[in-house]
Amino acid sequence: MAVIRISAPETAEKNEVIEIKAMIQHPMETGYRRDERGDVIPRDIITNFRCGYNGEIVFEAEFLPGIAANPFLTFYLRATHSGSLNMSWTDQDGQSWSATHALTVA
Amino acid sequence: MDKPLSRPTDWTRRGVIAAGTAAMSLFVPGVAEATPDDLENAIRDLFGDRPLSEGRVVVGLPPIAENGNSVALNISVDSPMTPEDHVRQIVVLSPRNPIATLAQFRLSPSVARADISTRVRLAGTQTVRVVAEISDGSLWTGKASTYVTLAACVIG
Amino acid sequence: MRAAFAFLLGTLAACNPQPANTGAEMDLPRGVVRSGYEFLQPETRILQDDDFENPGLLWVQQGAVLFETPMQGGPACASCHGEGGRLLTGAAAHYPAMESQSGELVNLEGRINLCRERYQGAPALAYESSELLALTAYTASLARGMEQSVNITGAAAPYYDAGRAYFFARKGQYNLSCHQCHDENWGRQLRGDTISQGHGNAFPAYRLEWQDFGSLHRRLRDCDSGIRAEPLPYGSETYVAVELYLAKRAEGLVMESPGVRR
């Protein structure tokens, strides 16, 4: 179970600039650490984040091991129409998690 | 890169010291580290030999990072973010981390403001470089430095 | 000369009402109690204070869901403790506390596991498991901002004494006690760190060093291995006793969990 936190306004004026914050619980294991026995802890990272706005990808991030655990992002969108914001995270093995946020534009 | 480490079979005094040294070696330069050359190569791999101009990109890092595992990073690029003129791509690069590229961002004109915050890992004191590609194909770069301090106690 | 010596002894006796194992140590004076928060860089303090960005909130959010979820063999935590933990507000500030049925001192983790086994028909959760961290994060968050206040009288007194004795005992290859760093040298630099007073009021907490959320016992184990002493097992009676001593020692500080530490 990966916990997701999203912060975005529920309503906005047309063409208003809205702040989006997104965070997911994930170790972003680099593959460079060793456990107590000296064994390498295998790499386990989220490699991709996407934000869709009514089905169109408007913002995308590629993560490498240099992104901190529990990856956090703040970015800004222009609210042009009512609809849904879909945030999805995909790991190196193709597993993905997502959350949807409804936005009403007056 | 991944040298085999001595693995104590039981927790003898000597074993504990060996394990402590092994744990410390994770933080010692040389285990896995990029160089400024790797940073330049990463830029070349992405953008070829296209000219890079200083400016338009402002990078924010705290003056002191008390732990390199999670350092707040802010990037803002001076751009109107219109369909005709917007930031297409942003790349964050380190001259010292095991992998030079930390992250890449792709922006559409729906991104109203080219302003992104995240948290990065920094393997030691360094100057982080950010390259932004504008929709007209021009490349702009900015940088910021932070001191990554060492914790009092080494666990392990 | 003799008079001066007698005066010195008198001063020590006045400051140190409880016997300590080496005789000369004093507890942290009441007036100088300072949270570890004050020793953090401004950016780390901002991270703890941020209602969104504090990574510990991921565990609080997970705990809030678990709290309302009925068990297979019994009720949800919320069935007894109220929706949104209404009836648990502030409770975590009084832990560790004596448990009347068993007559033992329990911390938050122990209390949650007692509930699971006795009333919820569920097995105890392992220390540092994601579920136990989430539930302790959530219950501790219900006491955020409240002053720590524990009872160390009656049956709790021997635990307090044991916890204090551990705090003052020199141990490990470095032959250091908790007291030497956190009472005698707090505020001074050790490599890139400022030594804190060693309070537990931020825990369970997100520690940058761990890149993870963890219990106070995980933190105590780090301190013990830091001085090259053998860490005690998670949930050990001695660590719970140390927790009680630390909670009393931190009196006046508010609960910060989910705290962020370096």
Answer left, alpha or beta for residue C154, where phi above 0 means left and psi between -120 and 50 means alpha: left
- Does residue C101 share a domain with residue C44? no
Rounded to a whole number of angstroms, the distance from the CA of A5 to the nearest CA of chain C is 7
Tell me, yes or no, if C223 is annotated catalytic. Answer: yes
Identify the CA nearest to C204 among candidates C217, C223, C221.
Answer: C217
Please provide the DSSP assignment of B38-69 as one string.
HHHHHHHHHHTT--EEE-SEEEE--SEES-TT
In a domain? residue C73: yes
Closest C-chain CA to B73: C43
The secondary structure element, H or E, covering residue C226 is: helix C216-226
Q: What is the pLDDT of residue B33?
A: 73
* Structural domain total, chain C: 2
- Judge whether residue B147 has pLDDT over 90: yes
> Tell me, what CATH number does C85's domain have?
1.10.760.10
Where do the structural domains in chain A lie, given as residue ranges?
Answer: 4-105
CB C216 within 8 A of CB C224: no
pLDDT tens figures, C59-81: 999 999 999 999 988 999 999 99
Domain coverage including residue B106: 33-148
- Please tell me if residue B12 touches chain C, with a CB cutoff of 8 Å: no
Beta bridge partners of B106: A60, B89
- Please tell me if residue C195 touches chain B, with a CB cutoff of 8 Å: yes
- Does residue C123 share a domain with residue C76? yes
Compare CB distances from A17 to B6, B113, B156 and report the shortest one's residue. Answer: B113
Q: Which residues of chain C have pLDDT under 50?
A: 1-23
Burial of B60 (0-12, 13-18, 19+ CB in 10 A): middle
Lookup: tokens for B77: 């690029």
- Does residue B72 share a domain with residue B142? yes
Residue B85, classed as helix, strand or coil, is: coil
Q: Can you tell me the distance from the alpha carbon of B67 to that of C257, in angstroms, rounded to the nearest whole number?
A: 20
Question: Taking CB atoms and an 8 Å limit, are C59 and A69 in contact across chains?
Answer: no
Topology annotation, domain A4-105: Immunoglobulin-like (2.60.40)
Rounded to a whole number of angstroms, the distance from the CA of A68 to the nearest CA of chain B is 5
Torsion angle, alpha carbons of B41, B42, B45, B50, to 10: -80
CB B114 within 8 A of CB B50: no
Q: What is the pLDDT of residue C195?
A: 93
- Does residue C217 share a domain with residue C97? no
Is the bond into C96 cis (omega within 30 degrees of 0)? Answer: yes
In a domain? residue B153: no
Question: Taking CB atoms and an 8 Å limit, are A61 and B156 in contact across chains?
Answer: no
Q: Are strands B126-134 and B87-93 parallel, antiparallel or unpaired?
A: antiparallel
**Per-residue pLDDT averaged across B114-131, rounded?**
97
Which among B17, B66, B148 is the top mutation candidate for probing chain C, defined by the most C β-carbons within 10 Å of its own β-carbon?
Answer: B66
Rounded to a whole number of angstroms, the distance from the CA of B82 to the nearest CA of chain C is 29
Q: From C141, C165, C181, give the residue that closes a domain.
A: C141
Better-predicted residue by pLDDT, B17 or A59: A59
Burial of B22 (0-12, 13-18, 19+ CB in 10 A): middle
In a domain? residue C188: yes
Closest C-chain CA to B149: C192
- Does residue B10 share a domain with residue B55? no
- Does residue C188 share a domain with residue C157? yes
Choose the catalytic residue: C15, C77, C115, C223: C223
- Does residue C241 share a domain with residue C136? no
- Does residue B110 share a domain with residue B66? yes
Q: Can you tell me the distance from the alpha carbon of B18 to that of C161, in angstroms, rounded to the nearest whole number?
A: 36
- Does residue C254 share a domain with residue C170? yes
- Does residue C168 share a domain with residue C62? no
Q: Are strands B71-77 and B113-120 parallel, antiparallel or unpaired?
A: antiparallel
Closest B-chain CA to A16: B112
**Least confident interval from A65-79, B81-95, C11-25:** C11-25
**Least confident interval from A16-20, A21-25, B34-38, B137-141:** B34-38
Lookup: tokens for C132: 């136990």
- Does residue B107 share a domain with residue B84? yes
- Does residue C43 share a domain with residue C75? no
Burial of A74 (0-12, 13-18, 19+ CB in 10 A): middle
Which among A6, A21, A23, A75 is the top mutation candidate for probing chain C, defined by the most C β-carbons within 10 Å of its own β-carbon?
Answer: A23
* Cβ count near A70 (within 10 Å): 27
- Does residue B75 share a domain with residue B6? no
Average pLDDT, chain B: 84
- Please tell me if residue B13 touches chain C, with a CB cutoff of 8 Å: yes
Mark which residues 113-152 of C lie under 8 Å from B by CB. none
Q: From C91, C126, C141, give the residue that closes a domain.
A: C141
- Please tell me if residue B111 touches chain A, with a CB cutoff of 8 Å: yes
Please state the three-class secondary structure of A47-70 as a single string.
EEEEEEECCEEEEEEEECCCECCC
Lookup: tokens for C83: 């929706």
Q: From C141, C159, C194, give the residue that closes a domain.
A: C141
Closest C-chain CA to A26: C212
- Quick one: what percent of chain A has pLDDT higher than 70? 99
Question: pTM (2 decimals)?
Answer: 0.88
- Does residue C60 share a domain with residue C35? no
Question: Taking CB atoms and an 8 Å limit, are B66 and C209 in contact across chains?
Answer: no
Identify the CA nearest to A105 among candidates A32, A38, A23, A14.
Answer: A14
- Does residue B72 share a domain with residue B7? no
In a domain? residue C196: yes
DSSP-based helix, strand, coil % in chain C, nearest 5: 50, 10, 45
- Does residue B123 share a domain with residue B58? yes
Q: What is the pLDDT of residue C26?
A: 80
Task: Give me the phi and psi of B36, to 5 degrees please.
Answer: -55, -30
Question: Taking CB atoms and an 8 Å limit, are C208 and B66 in contact across chains?
Answer: yes
In a domain? residue C82: yes
Lookup: tokens for B136: 């007209």
- Does residue C164 share a domain with residue C42? yes
In a domain? residue C12: no
- Judge whether residue A43 has pLDDT over 90: yes
Identify the CA nearest to B68 among candidates A77, C86, A32, A9.
Answer: A32
Better-predicted residue by pLDDT, A64 or B22: A64
Q: What is the pLDDT of residue C13?
A: 39
In a domain? residue B154: no
Q: What is the pLDDT of residue B156?
A: 56
Closest C-chain CA to B153: C226
Residues 6+ apart with CB under 8 A from B21: none
CB < 8 Å to B66, chain C: 40-41, 43-44, 192-193, 208, 262
Q: What is the pLDDT of residue C11?
A: 39
- Please tell me if residue A72 touches chain C, with a CB cutoff of 8 Å: yes
- Does residue B136 share a domain with residue B107? yes
Q: Can you tell me the distance from the alpha carbon of C102 to that of C119, in angstroms, rounded to the nearest whole number?
A: 15
Compare CB distances from B153 to C42, C43, C226 and report the shortest one's residue. Answer: C226
CA-to-CA separations, C17 to C3, C26, C150, C199, in angstroms, rounded: 21, 9, 19, 21
Closest B-chain CA to A33: B26
Residues 6+ apart with CB under 8 A from A71: A23, A24, A26, A28, A46, A49, A63, A89, B118, B119
CB < 8 Å to A5, chain C: 52, 57-58, 61
- Does residue C208 share a domain with residue C122? no
Is the bond into C258 cis (omega within 30 degrees of 0)? Answer: yes
Q: Can you tell me the distance from the alpha carbon of C153 to that of C148, in angstroms, rounded to the nearest whole number?
A: 16
CB < 8 Å to C222, chain B: 153, 155
* Structural domain total, chain B: 2
Rounded to a whole number of angstroms, the distance from the CA of A99 to the nearest CA of chain B is 19
Rounded to a whole number of angstroms, the distance from the CA of A100 to the nearest CA of chain B is 18
Domain coverage including residue C177: 31-50+147-261
CB C33 within 8 A of CB C251: yes
Q: Can you tell me the distance from the alpha carbon of B101 to that of B59, in angstroms, rounded to the nearest whole number?
A: 15
- Quick one: what percent of chain A has pLDDT higher than 90? 94
In a domain? residue C245: yes
In a domain? residue B155: no
- In the B/C pair of chains, how many CB contacts fall below 8 A? 58
**Per-residue pLDDT averaged across A2-17, rounded?**
97
- Does residue C137 share a domain with residue C170? no
- Does residue B70 share a domain with residue B139? yes
Question: Taking CB atoms and an 8 Å limit, are A30 and B121 in contact across chains?
Answer: yes
Q: What is the pLDDT of residue B32?
A: 63
**Residue matched to tokens 């896995």:** B32
**Per-residue pLDDT averaged across B68-95, rounded?**
97
Question: Taking CB atoms and an 8 Å limit, are A65 and B110 in contact across chains?
Answer: no
**Per-residue pLDDT averaged across B119-134, rounded?**
97
CA-to-CA separations, C175 to B94, C170, C178, C226, in angstroms, rounded: 40, 5, 10, 11
* Cβ count near B33 (within 10 Å): 17
